[in-house]
Amino acid sequence: MRRCIEETANTVQTLQHAHEVARAFQANAAVGREIYASFMADERGRIAEAAHRRERALERRKKELLEDRRATLEAAHSLEAAEKFKALKFKLGRARMLARRGDAEVDSKTAEAAAIKIACELVSVIQSQSLDVATWFDQRIARVNIAIAEMEADGADTAAQRAAVELLRRVKAMVEAG
């Protein structure tokens, strides 16, 4: 009987040990499942992030391709427009040049007319008032400067009057030089 009791005790002890091992195994299995679940969640996150990066890279490449196509089209249109409007551009430039030349001719003719007018006034004033030439020029320059000041106050263009003052000064210097 003693042997029976010892065997039963050994069996109970073995069963208890097996039960403890099973409980430890179950605990380890539960921890293992938690670790595996956490690992899988991390992996899913990394996979999703990688997929997102690939999608963004694909979109960026598409965008760059479209921008390159647009730049190519703009360059082609620019060349086409340059060829198409080249003759017109030269015609406009020529018209502007002719207009400037015409303006210059008018300005020179206006200056000549002003010089003739000034000379006529000078002769008539000198004959009627017996003034000297330098005094007449000074009076005339003063009158034109007053007119320039009035025109500037009104916001008008004074280029012609300034040219007249310069002309008067030059003619005065030539007359005084002899």
Q: What is the residue extent of each domain of the chain?
A: 2-94
Q: How remote is the C-alpha of 158 from its chain's centroid? A: 36
Q: How many CB atoms lie within 10 A of CB 126?
A: 14
Residue whose entry in the numeric block shows the structure tokens 């030439």: 133
DSSP state at residue 131:
-
Residue 25: pLDDT band by 50, 70, 90 thresholds? Answer: confident
pLDDT tens digit sequence for 114-173: 767 766 776 676 666 666 777 878 888 999 999 999 988 888 888 888 888 888 888 788
**Residue 178 pLDDT:** 59
